[in-house]
Structures are given as structure tokens and as C-alpha cells.
Amino acid sequence: PAHIYPGHGNYDVMLAIASVHGCVDTFRIVPAVTINPMPSALIVGDSIHCAPGTYQYSANINSIDVIQTYQWTVNGANAGTNAATLNHNFTAGNYTIGLRVTTVNDCIDYIQRNIIVDSSNADFSIQRPVRCGSNDRTVNFTSTSGSHFGIASYEWHFGDNQTSFSQNPGHTYAQPGTYNIMLVTTSVHGCTDTMRLPQSVIIYETPTVDFTGQYETCMQKRLQFTSQIVSQDAITGYTWTVNGAPTGSTASLDYLFNNAGTFTVALTVTTQNGCSVTTSKPVTIRALPVPAAAPNTTICTGTSVTLSAQDGNNFEWTPAATLQNALTASPVASPTSTTKYYVKVTSQYGCIQYDSVVIRVDERVRLRHSQDAITCRGTAVTLTASGNSNQFIWSPAAGLNTTTGTSVSANPQNTTTYRVVGVSSNVCPSDTGYIKVTVGDIPTVNLGPDITIAAGTEVTIPTTTTGGVVGFTWTPTTGLTCTSCAQPKFIANEDITYKVKVRTQYGCEATDELRIVVLCNKGAVFIPNAFTPNNDGLNDVFFVSGYGIARVKHFSVFDRWGKPVFRKDNIQAGDRNQGWNGKVNNMDITTTTTFVYVAEVECTEGTTLVLKGSVILIR
């Protein structure tokens, strides 16, 4: 059977049975059933809050048994910890808080509680919060505040002890100044918020605008005007006009007045926050004088011309160095080269105008030509002319390759004086010059036939000339007794070719060559028969010298018993450093002694000579 117990507690259960024949039996369980008591839970806390915020709710439990777990939920989501209180951060909205408690005997109670979390967020915008000028003091305010359940009231404070309770008020300020704005909003559930905006409205005084400068001048002159402004608001624009035409956009104006007349100069200043102020002043511009400088002309070097100018009280001509009376209207100019003269004309109002004239100065031909020339018959000489001319005419034509031009080739047969004319292409006269070309004869020179001669022989070169030779130049100069005489001498030493160049007083030249072939023999080899190695600088060394010797193949010295005491191979003849100093084994010979020598010499023509003999070392 099923049975409903009336309350919690322990209950005994007994079962009695009887058979069909009247037999009876019972069974008892003590206790058989335990009914645990149910817990009872309540959620304690406010039903309305203002967001954002962390709010606490607590469990009020009526339970005989010990509560084992607390399970909190917010809108169905687990929240909090296993504790008798819930601390939760709420944003604006509707919430259902749930609490499930479980006893140690697994008895459960669950309860829900609905709450409201409202919000109030004060905020606003200002239409052009910064203004400028007395005619722009009405400011419109727009609330941009928010609330989850709606705003119930607005309270505006405009910073001038004036208030408004409209949602989007407009307010007119009586005076320029800086104002702090505050808005307080209250939601339908009583949540409030305050928005303060320090210096949120600024109304500037109207600027004062003026400018300074010069208000009268001459045309084609620049005038400078400088703004004088007093403004609380930042200046964002300058507009200058002259007779209504825009001319500048900075704090100052630099303007060129090209024409004479009366002009209106105006300055309009705009500020960052809407002020625009204009001021203007008249400016008088005087006309410039008209100098009409004259004449523009051409003169010749060394002449003068009178200049002229007009329409002024004062005149000043430059450059003054070539002028007479440069501070008059009509000075006399005597330029030495093309010159541009400037005149400064000043009117009665001090207005200045400049003009100029160009006086071109034609240069004379100033002919420059070659100096008189000397040449050899049959040899052309180049004659040149230059100067301030495009045309040069040469005469006579005999011997010239052309009769015009800056350069001609002259090859006359006899001495000739040529005339050159530089033709003027301007007002100056042509110029004439003369060049004398002296023609000289070409000399001859003959050195005779080539010579074959024994080495060491003295030779005089047999030179013959014609044509008035005055100078000789011999090359090479090796072995010659002179290099600029007619017949130099030399001692035959080696094969050589001499060349002579002769010249006349006119510089005419001729050349010839002489080939010398040198034959070597024993007579051209010099080996002394005695020497004195006593360091007196005379005959201290025993060595081989001579003419026509290419080299000493070997040079040996022996004592009287045939023992070698000195030897050198492949040395140059005449080289003292390669000779014998008289020492044997680096020891001086202290007595006069005779030695035997053998020398093998190779001549320049390739033959070999062997020379033997004796030499006395004297002490």
C-alpha cells in the first residue's frame, strides 16, 4: 500500500498475515520509515537599485536540518558562491534572483525574487559652446542623457544663476564670459546622475580692429600696413582689400600701388568662433614723373654726346664717371665703352622714376699682327692678324696662299714687306699694319765619309759648310772636345755615330752624320808595369784600362813561383774598384816585389786579346 505521513519523524511498520486456513504471522521494522523536515528559504534584499553597482542579497532559512548547499542564480545563470549571501554586480535591467538550498538529508527548497536595476546617465551637447560677439549669446543645449527605464526629470544650471527644467533648453546669456554647465537627471525609479562641464560655454567680447601704416606715397611703391587687434577669441582670418579687391590674408599687408589715385584699404578680421570686424582707411597715391631719357645712339671711341631728361625737379645720372654735370637734365657723356646711363628723376611730391639710355661705343679696329719674320727660302711662315674686324686684306699677293683672313701662309722668294688692312665695320676707320718677311738661304754641311780607326786614336772631324753657317750643335756629345765648334776632336773608344746640326743667322738649318767604327788592338790596352800601393792617391791600384774595350773577361796576378794572388772576371776596363790593391791574403807586401799578370780582354767589335807581362810592386 502507499501511505502519506502527516509530518516528519521516525515511523515503525508492522505487517501481519493470515493463511487461508487461519494461520497468522507478523513482521515489524523499527523504525521502518524516517521523514526528514523540509527547509524553508526567503531572499532578503531591496527590490529596486540604481546601476551600475554591486548589491547584496541574503538567504533567510528556516530548517531543522543543517543546510549543506546554497545555489544562487541570476536570470537563470549560476551566480555567487556556496554561501548564505550573494554579492553581484548589476547593470541596468530586470532580473530574477533564484535560491536553491539543500539540507544534509537532501531536502531542497527553491525560491525566486524579481528585482529592478534602473540607471540614470546625464550627458548633453552644446551647439557652438564657444561664441564671439554681443549678437551671438543664445546657446542651445541638447540632453543626450539615458536611462534604462526612462528619464523622469531634468534640472539645468547654466552657470549664471539661471536654471531650466526642460529637456533641451535654449539660454541667452546677458554678458560675455565663461560659464560652467551642470545637468542633473532623475530616472522613473529615482536614480539620479549629474554631469558637470567646466568652462563649457565661452562667449568672447567683440574684437577691436585697427591698422597702421603710411597713407600717402608715390605710385609703383609698396606700402606696408600692420594690423592692431585686441581680441579674446583666437584670430583665424585676415582679409585685406584695396578698393574691394582681395589683396592679402596675413596680419600685415605689403601692397604695390601701380597706379595713381585715391584708394580704400580695408581689413576684415574673423575669429575662431564667429566674430567678423571690418575697418577701412583712404590712401592717396601720387603719379610718377615721366623722364623720357634720350638719346639711344651709337658713337665712336673718343667722342661725346649730350643726354636729356624731363618732368622733374631733381635729376641724378649714373654712372657719373664719364659724365659732365651729372646732376642736371642734360649732361655730356664721354663713355669709353658701351654704357647704359640711368637717370633718377624726382618730382615735387618726392616721387621718383628711373629711365635709361644706351650709348653704344664702337671700338676701333685696334689691329694686332705678327712681328717681322725670318724664314728660309722655300719654307712658308704663318702671318696672323686680329682685332675688332671681320675682314683682313693682305698685299702684295706674291708668295701668299690667300689675300684675306686672319691667318695667311707666306712663302716669298725674296725678302718682302706685307701690308695687312683690318677693315672697320663701324664708324671707326680701318687700321693698317706691315710685316717684313726676311728670306735666308739654306746652308749645307758635309762631315765626309764614315771612318774606321784603331781604338785610342785621336780624330778631328773634317767638317765643311756653305751658306753662312754661324752655329753648330753636335750629338751625342760623348768624347767630343767641344759641342758647338766646327771641327771637334775625340779619341776613338767605341763605335759611335756623330750628328751635327748647323744653322745660319736666319735660323736655316742642315744636318749630316759621321759613322765611327773602332778597331781594338793591344796598343789600345794600357796595363802599367809598376804601381805603389801606399794610399797616396797615385798609382795605388793595379788595373786594366784602354780604348775600344767591351769588358775584361779575366784578370789574374801571380807571384814569381806561379801562385795566384789576385783574380777578377767579367769586369769593366778602367774601373779602379775592380783592380788589385797590392795585398796578398789581405796582407801588405812590405818589400819591392815583381809579379806576373795575364789579362784576357774582349774588344767592342767582338775580338779577344790576351795580354801577359810583369808588374813591379814598389815599396
User: How do residues 38-51 score in pLDDT, each as one tens digit?
Assistant: 899 999 999 999 99
Average pLDDT over residues 330-347: 96
Average pLDDT over residues 558-579: 92
Question: How far is Cα 202 from Cα 542, in angstroms, rounded to an integer?
Answer: 125
Tell me, yes or no, if the pTM score tops 0.95: no
Q: Which residue has the higher pLDDT, 373 or 198?
A: 373
Sheet with 245-248: strands ordered across: 216-218, 276-286, 261-271, 235-242, 245-248
pLDDT (tens digit, 9 = 90+) per residue, 541-554? 999 998 888 899 99
Question: How far is Cα 518 from Cα 10, in angstroms, rounded to an integer?
Answer: 164
pLDDT (tens digit, 9 = 90+) per residue, 50-96? 999 999 999 999 999 999 999 999 999 999 889 999 999 999 999 99
In the predicted model, is pLDDT for residue 323 greater than 90? Answer: yes
Determine the 3-state secondary structure of 577 from DSSP: helix
Enumerate domains of the chain plus CATH numbers: 40-119 (2.60.40.10), 124-204 (2.60.40.10), 208-286 (2.60.40.10), 297-362 (2.60.40.10), 368-440 (2.60.40.10), 444-519 (2.60.40.10), 522-617 (2.60.40.1220)
Between strands 192-204 and 130-132, the pairing is parallel
In the predicted model, is pLDDT for residue 31 greater than 90? Answer: no
Q: Which residue has the higher pLDDT, 166 or 454?
A: 166
Average pLDDT over residues 245-274: 95
Between strands 138-143 and 124-126, the pairing is antiparallel
Please identify which residue in the block is written with the cell numbers 579687391.
245
Question: How far is Cα 562 from Cα 564, in angstroms, rounded to an integer?
Answer: 6
The reply to whether omega before 533 is within 30° of 0 (cis) is no
Please identify which residue in the block is written with the cell numbers 550573494.
86
Provide the pLDDT confidence category of residue 523 given band limits of 50, 70 and 90: low
Question: How far is Cα 19 from Cα 28, in angstroms, rounded to an integer?
Answer: 18
Q: What percent of the chain has pLDDT over 90?
A: 79
Provide the pLDDT confidence category of residue 467 given band limits of 50, 70 and 90: confident
pLDDT (tens digit, 9 = 90+) per residue, 591-610? 999 999 999 998 887 888 88
Q: What percent of the chain has pLDDT over 70?
A: 100
Please identify which residue in the block is written with the cell numbers 564667429.
274
Dihedral angle, C-alpha 25, 29, 30, 34, nearest 10 °: -140
Average pLDDT over residues 327-351: 95
The DSSP secondary-structure symbol of 560 reads T
Listed in sequence order, the residues at least 6 apart from 1 whose beta carbon sits closer than 8 Å to its beta carbon are none
- Burial readout 301-311 (b: 16 or more C-beta within 10 A, e: otherwise): beeebebbbbe
